[in-house]
Amino acid sequence: MYRVLYTSYTMTNNLSDKDKKAFALIRNKIIHYGESPSLREINVVTGGRSPRSASLVVERLVASGLIKRKGRKLILANTYSANSVSTINVPLVGQVACGTPIFAKENIETYIPISTRMAQKGSKYFLLRASGDSMNEVGINSGDLLLIRQQDTAENGDNVVALINDEATVKSFEKTRDAIILRPKSTNKSHRPIILTDNCMIQGVVVAVLPEDLH
């Protein structure tokens, strides 16, 4: 099952703007590079003027439950704790609708370094930006970056990127004896299941939902 990388990060609503900037820096550097930023880097985004200033910010983030200390490193409190700086460049290949399917543009917008703790070696990955609200009950919101493991098969319950007549959509996968059902998981009940007997190609499985401000 895929993981929402920032499930409890609604706690950031209680942070000051300075601490939010510091947390975004720490989170993004861990996700991209598998390491935490230096106190100097934290001061750059917060306007701090001394190592003590940055240390106090870090202590507040630890107290908030968003990050933890692991030796001299910082790790994210309730998600991947990247222990390695090993990364791979994962292509961001456009936008997929989480509502009415839209054509998936295959042009690569950019490459984003992702820790191999998330994008594990031996598999191919790509990133897509979600659009719409048909999967918001499982933590996929419009604007989120979806880390997709490229594969053409799926298990029931997987959240997949499916290509239907050259249009792509993100839905929960279900296969019966007679059909494939792509189910929305949404608080918006206007979204209905898509039932198919053919013309459905699985492009990959969602393995993580990343914050939209990673890129």
* 3 strand-pairing partners: 208
Distance of CA 20 to the CA centre of its chain: 18
CA triple 192-196-200, angle to 5 deg: 110
Residues 147/210, Cβ–Cβ less than 8 Å: yes
**Residues with catalytic annotation?**
134, 171
Q: DSSP characters for 15-62?
A: S-HHHHHHHHHHHHHHHHHSSPPPHHHHHHHHT--SHHHHHHHHHHHH
190: alpha, beta or left? (left if phi > 0; alpha if psi -120 to 50)? alpha
